[in-house]
Amino acid sequence: MSNHLNFYIDGKWVAPVKPATLDVIDPSTEEAYATISVGSGADVDKAVAAARAAFTSFSQTTREERLALLNKVLEIYNRRYEDVAQAISQEMGAPITWAREAQAAAGQGHLASTIKALEEYEFSHQRGGTMVVKEPIGVCALITPWNWPLNQIVCKVAPAIAAGCTVVLKPSEIAPISGIVFAEIMDEAGVPKGVFNLVNGNGPDVGQVMAEHPDVDMVSFTGSTRAGILVAKAAADTVKRVAQELGGKSANIILPDADFEHAVREGVNACFGNTGQSCDAPTRMLVPASRHDEALEVAKAAAEAHKTGDPRSTETQLGPVVSQMQYDKIQKLIETGISEGAKLVTGGTGRPEGLNRGYYIRPTVFGHVTPDMTIAREEIFGPVLSVISYQDEDDAVRIANDTVYGLAAYIQSQNIENARRVASKMRAGSVYLNYPDWDTHAPFGGYKQSGNGREYADWGIHDFLEIKGIVGYAG
């Protein structure tokens, strides 16, 4: 039986206090394919009360008990893996191969890395006569986005539970089905009642209520910087901890000694991954001014090689973006790029040829973009790349750091010492040298308006802990 119309509160599936529903749209067809319930403050109150009651005992569980629980969750996740991938593919339009190999794999990876981190984590150490103890912070409100649904759910839920916290989760109402599947996984794994709770709904009616709730001790939010500011303001009156992973406008500096054709081609691929809907996507490609036109030729060919189409096909590389709102925003920003004088190398407005419905975007590359242009400054969140010239290394660093964001930066060089030197100058929480493999044990989070706090593995566990000093412990 479907749990789409229920919430998961205090260890059971329950109907909302005030019945209200929302259609879930398949972005490849623009048609509703499921209906969920959306909650209210009354549902949040029930979920928070359940989490508060459960915290007393769950906070006292041993590391071994929490490890056993997380290992059971991973076991069931592995068994439901295809259900997770199919849900993500349909709710956000991710090509099914990408949904399997990246989206569903992200949740699996975070569970595994959190388990490993918990096995090794030091919750106490003695400093002179004082014992320093790290203890669970309490009831945590987790608000997650639609673009990497299970990635963000698991990299919040898993470390919170590893720390001994209890949680109330609000997935994005745009892509909520994978969150319901995850709640089913948690239920089957035997999570103690009240430790994990799920309430679906929108930001104002559920998310804001969670953030301002007096019995919530911490909010962990991933989403836009605009929404993150609202969450922080809502949380301020109760002085709760707020961890935020927000927007980005990441630069990809291709240094003069890089393998140029490879660096440009892979930069396009990295920008277009997840149909451009990643907060850390390298959307600003910085190339030496003398090789700008050469970069555009390579980028054009790389972009036009991407197959856009039905996410159910294993041949599709780019699916639709998630919603009409996102589609309209991206179309407007492409129009702005053209009107402000950037060179449209390939792509542009409208749907790709042969597609007459669905929120599909033409893979787009702009050249001769200047740092003051809108497309060089605003987060587009679609398959749109801006190529920008720089004069020398100092100029590249200046352009890369000239943004309100600071989530990620990318450096390409055949000389690792050069890459490391430039990386040290980046004002960003993550710097990726020569397109490395994804590392779920590396800290993830941003500088400046890209947020605060860090996620993944032990970094995530740390964010859900309070620090207590017991002075005179030595006796």
* Catalytic residue numbers, as ranges: 245, 279
Selection from 377, 36, 428, 427 nearest residue 202 by Cα: 36
The 10 Å Cβ neighbour count of residue 436 is 9
User: Phi, psi at residue 376, to the nearest 5°?
Assistant: -90, -10
Helix (H) or strand (E) holding 380, with range, is: none
Give the span between the Cα atoms of 366 and 370, in whole angstroms. Answer: 10
Give the span between the Cα atoms of 463 and 156, in whole angstroms. Answer: 10
Q: Which residues contact 66 (CB under 8 A, 6 or more apart)?
A: 118, 161, 162, 164
Give the span between the Cα atoms of 114 and 441, in whole angstroms. Answer: 8
Exposure string of 439-461, with b = 16+ CB inside 10 Å and e = fewer, is ebebbbbbbbbbbbbbbbbbbbb
- Tokens representing 128 are 């002179």
Q: Which residues contact 421 (CB under 8 A, 6 or more apart)?
A: none
Please name the residue that has the structure tokens 């919530």: 216
Determine the residue type at 464.
Answer: F
Measured at the alpha carbon of residue 209, what is the angle toward residues 222 and 26, in degrees to the nearest 5? 55
